[in-house]
Structure 1
């Protein structure tokens, strides 16, 4: 095993990957000697055959299955399969009774080897046709010359549309025409932060590697150079990529005229090394820029891993301009794209019916519509309450570096950021919320922010405690409007502690924020003095130094030096409470 790969032998890697296919899709058979994955439908239909070099999975072997490819031929990593492999697939592995359509990407080796196999099959009397897909606009007409555009992820859309047409009984002539129509109406471009390393090859640093934060715009799926390199952010990168695809004044790359009147399918594809989380963020950026800058709102959006460059740290954007297939409504280009496929690599599982429904977006609802707090008879000086809380929140924000440092030593380093995020969100709310003399409504506004802005364990604890505090205030609300007192706060805080105990076993001595919270509540109940209570919380937090944790992530995460730092959560809470005391004195 190398530092780069779990399977370092490229031959073993390709064969092992192909061998896995029947395990995860029982409708697939693998001819390991010829590196062919194939599927035989129950009802004869036009067979769709594709393939190319390995390393682009799930393309093409994982696209084999009902409704998509009938057969896929794999070469070694980034190298075309031989003509003999492809010939064997066409003549001996797929159903050829209704004809065979070969879909191949525009790379010289692929076109030559698949083309040679097609001619051999024709010589044997097989009805066969071939469609070559070149959708990449990363290299323009001037550099592309006679070779033309490379094939990249847009090829997957062509394969899906052709496979669905074949499954619906279209003839070879019809399937070929629809596949060409799709291929002629696609533009794609990819970008990457790094070249990929091919298993089995020596890493000698001689390749023209990208510098830190440098992006290659238009990079191909085999490490081929693109059109430019630049250091930029995601919005600017997406802007450039969309411009390459859509800018009509760019005569070198204007391969397809797309206007706001056209129906568009968007495919955002990971090149293999982009996390699902980050790809979702990228997809959102692309969708927003299409709408805001180009007035284009795709009628279908596919986001996922369709065609990779091994573990390439990049992504591609493909735009398909929907055209009339001439096959009728149920075989429109969109219906064919939406049609189900029993192939493990095809991840678009949304039906036409679902797409057509204009579902209401849950995030358009406002929490206040359902969760408006019932007023109480408690009263507070709003300006003073806002000022006091602002002082406390700003002190907590200022303490973030220390809290983060402590949590880096004893935890996973996110406590300070979480507290700061919550504090900033509450400050933002205070600037926008309506003034109120009712402390219960004031508190409810805070709770709604905490529940949305703070996550993790500490977020849950704060939310539970504050909700219980709101209940405690209501229980202690007088029968007629009266100013809130320290005694009412103390009683409500005591009931909050009791409620919190139902959900966490944490108590003072466990090295958690309870080491600051309990002393604060107990001292306030006993003395009615916020300043004394805040100092008790500070002493409790400092007392966690050297304390062995029995709860929380610190139990199994803590690194060296934990004995010298306080619990991060306790320290953060103490700083907040000290800020409250400070604010009350102003």
Structure 2
């Protein structure tokens, strides 16, 4: 493994790399504070164009910032190496860095952190009145259906093709609905598989303990060193044969994601994971093409080779096959026309047009930030004193329950659930005690202010889940605004909570029975919607929490931590217990 690097500070490296894109493509600008690369507002662009916003952890260059430019994406948001950017960064990109009058498609790869944070930003944009769609790209067949379970396929090299298609359709004048539908349709017809001879090394970190043996290759290794399907000793011909079989064997029900006929047309993408020489990559392309034609009678209509979505210095490559459709997917375009459409992005194979350099503007872009804490006022009313009394009671119940939540989570998790909930509750209580400016009777505004507190102080998966839920709650309340002042009654809250639970389901696969806080939240919401009885809803949440004692965890850290024999039948899910205590305290004070 190559562990030597020119940069020892990974944060400095990420910022330097982002800055370089504005030097190599003069149509781009950088918001360095939020690590957003975006198309300059004074660069030529189509009027009323749908904006495509992508992003993810750094270390996959040229993805994702390298795909920003005319004909491709409008902005990309970067996290630190192999870590998702924060929802605040993503929201800033969608609200302030790209035009959003015709809508925004938010399109990251399918990894838990990305889905939660980009999902949180999606709900924040919707709550702000921006028409927004979300799609998580997932093309990897290296981990089959059984192992990937509810999380689904990972997003790897084929993401470059999805970004090219959606970006080109948006540039051609496609509507948000058309661009979103194309992302779904193309993903359903896309398969990818990777192989690597060694793990990657992150600058500034020690070498990982696990190594791939000198005479072995790992098939299906993920782009963050995640394990694939297996390690094996094979020569190149056998390796490519195995990879193509995982892509195309329709009898393999664990991995058969596409079907094919002799008439089908394909685009082949050979992607360098970062550490393969151009000479060797070309040899790999030839071998893949040779076997596709000889063994599968597939002669791709386009062959694309290069570094599109890498894994730092990964000594590997990936193969992607996109099955094309000849139908009009929007704006009079076919999929092949969109693949062929010109794009001025460093990460794509077509170079920047001379006209872009001729139109170069050297003056810096003046960054103008809207205040994400503000939103349009609503007519949904609730007396601030009632909010302080009822919500405060729920918060105090959470604070009081912290020792028990921590005890539970020490036994079945990583011990931080109670502290996280208490930290969030105390921060919200501080807002209620000393609000500046004072709270008004506009309950949508109040919920949005609470969202900002949660996003700031509650980290981790539970923090993201609560933030997504509350953003969607604000949206659910605003949707019931009839234009005249009205009280936020139990019926209004029931509808808003139902909307929030539905929205949350777009970003987490958790369902009742998975031993998570969803086991308390869903019974509460369903009972409140059905009966309009808060105390019955709280009792349903308590019953749901109690039922988690006998459940085997299928999501969250409890999957990996703790011995089931010690706690099955005894310990409830800590997140569900904490939420149930909050809801009970809330309704008892109402």
1:53 corresponds to: 57
Secondary structure of the equivalent of 2:135? strand
1:185 maps to which of 184, 189, 194: 189
Secondary structure of the equivalent of 1:86? helix
Contact map agreement 2:72 2:164 (CA 8 A) in 1: yes
1:138 corresponds to: 142
The C-alpha deviation readout for 1:485-518, integer Å capped at 9, x for no partner, is xxxxxxxxxxxxxxxxxxxxxxxxxxxxxxxxxx
Structure of greater relative contact order (alpha carbons < 8 Å, 6+ residues apart): 2
2:337 corresponds to: 335
For 1:371-390, what aligned pairs fall within 5 Å after superposition? Answer: none
C-alpha change, 1:154 and 1:66, in structure 2 (3 Å) is same
Secondary structure of the equivalent of 1:134? coil
2:227 corresponds to: 225
Contact map agreement 2:158 2:191 (CA 8 A) in 1: yes
C-alpha change, 1:218 and 1:348, in structure 2 (3 Å) is farther
- How far the C-alpha of 1:327 sits from its partner, in A, is 3.8
Secondary structure of the equivalent of 1:132? coil
Contact map agreement 1:259 1:296 (CA 8 A) in 2: no
The C-alpha deviation readout for 1:451-478, integer Å capped at 9, x for no partner, is xxxxxxxxxxxxxxxxxxxxxxxxxxxx
Confirm whether residue 72 of structure 1 aligns to residue 65 of structure 2: no
Contact map agreement 1:340 1:349 (CA 8 A) in 2: no
2:45 corresponds to: 42
Distance (whole Å) between structure 1 residues aligned to residue 332 and residue 300 of structure 2: 20
Distance (whole Å) between structure 2 residues aligned to residue 246 and residue 348 of structure 1: 29
1:18 corresponds to: 18
C-alpha change, 1:349 and 1:266, in structure 2 (3 Å) is farther
- How far the C-alpha of 1:314 sits from its partner, in A, is 0.3
2:33 corresponds to: 33
Confirm whether residue 259 of structure 1 aligns to residue 261 of structure 2: yes
2:271 corresponds to: 269
In angstroms, what is the RMSD of aligned CA positions?
1.7
Distance (whole Å) between structure 1 residues aligned to residue 3 and residue 254 of structure 2: 41
Confirm whether residue 101 of structure 1 aligns to residue 110 of structure 2: no
TM superposition score normalised by structure 2: 0.58
The C-alpha deviation readout for 1:343-388, integer Å capped at 9, x for no partner, is 011015799xxxxxxxxxxxxxxxxxxxxxxxxxxxxxxxxxxxxx
1:293 corresponds to: 295
Spell out structure 1 runs of 4+ moving beyond 4 A: 348-351
- How far the C-alpha of 1:50 sits from its partner, in A, is 0.2
For 1:91-170, what aligned pairs fall within 5 Å after superposition? Answer: 91-170=95-174
Secondary structure of the equivalent of 1:112? helix
2:211 corresponds to: 209
2:309 maps to which of 301, 304, 307: 307
C-alpha change, 1:3 and 1:110, in structure 2 (3 Å) is closer
TM superposition score normalised by structure 1: 0.58
Confirm whether residue 346 of structure 1 aligns to residue 348 of structure 2: yes
Distance (whole Å) between structure 2 residues aligned to residue 112 and residue 247 of structure 1: 33
Q: Which runs of 5+ in 1 are unaligned?
A: 352-586
Distance (whole Å) between structure 2 residues aligned to residue 4 and residue 98 of structure 1: 46
Secondary structure of the equivalent of 2:106? strand
Contact map agreement 1:29 1:38 (CA 8 A) in 2: yes
C-alpha change, 1:239 and 1:142, in structure 2 (3 Å) is same
Secondary structure of the equivalent of 1:331? coil
2:422 corresponds to: none
Distance (whole Å) between structure 1 residues aligned to residue 113 and residue 250 of structure 2: 32
Confirm whether residue 235 of structure 1 aligns to residue 234 of structure 2: no
Contact map agreement 2:169 2:331 (CA 8 A) in 1: no
Aligned length: 348
Distance (whole Å) between structure 1 residues aligned to residue 202 and residue 166 of structure 2: 31
Distance (whole Å) between structure 2 residues aligned to residue 158 and residue 114 of structure 1: 17
1:477 corresponds to: none
C-alpha change, 1:349 and 1:234, in structure 2 (3 Å) is farther
